[in-house]
């Protein structure tokens, strides 16, 4: 399916080795970031629910296919993310056991 192939190739060749939960190290799942840019923590669902009492300021961490000068990631706001980027993020499982 062409759309599935496009989603899979959205970040093809982009280093996602640091796209992981900063608390437990889990990768390959949906990662969340705080709405406020000065908070650099990225968390998976499990750690977000455990560490954060109010989740209202946490939004999807959808990486822009570029990196900043400090070696980290830049992120789209959800509203400004291209549809392919949103589909890529939505296609990630919520947890390592594969639930979406």
Domain extent, residue 75, equals: 2-90
| Residue 98 domain flag | no
**pLDDT at residue 21, as a whole number:** 93
* In a domain? residue 99: no
Q: One digit per residue, pLDDT tens: the chain, 100 residues?
A: 444 555 667 777 777 888 899 999 999 899 999 887 677 789 998 888 776 655 567 889 998 877 555 556 788 888 889 999 999 999 999 888 766 5
d(CA 54, CA 8): 32
Q: Based on the structure, what is the number of domains in the chain?
A: 1
For the question of whether the overall pTM of this predicted structure is more than 0.85, the answer is no
> Per the domain annotation, does 95 fall within a domain?
no
CB 87 within 8 A of CB 11: no
């Amino acid at each position: 399916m062409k759309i599935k192939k496009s989603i899979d190739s959205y970040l093809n060749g982009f280093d996602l080795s640091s796209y992981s939960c900063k608390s437990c190290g889990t990768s390959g799942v949906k990662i969340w970031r705080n709405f406020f840019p000065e908070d650099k923590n990225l968390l998976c669902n499990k750690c977000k629910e455990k560490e954060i009492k109010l989740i209202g300021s946490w939004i999807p961490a959808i990486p822009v296919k570029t990196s900043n000068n400090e070696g980290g990631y830049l992120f789209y706001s959800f509203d400004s993310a291209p549809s392919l980027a949103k589909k890529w993020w939505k296609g990630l499982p919520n947890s390592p056991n594969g639930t979406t």
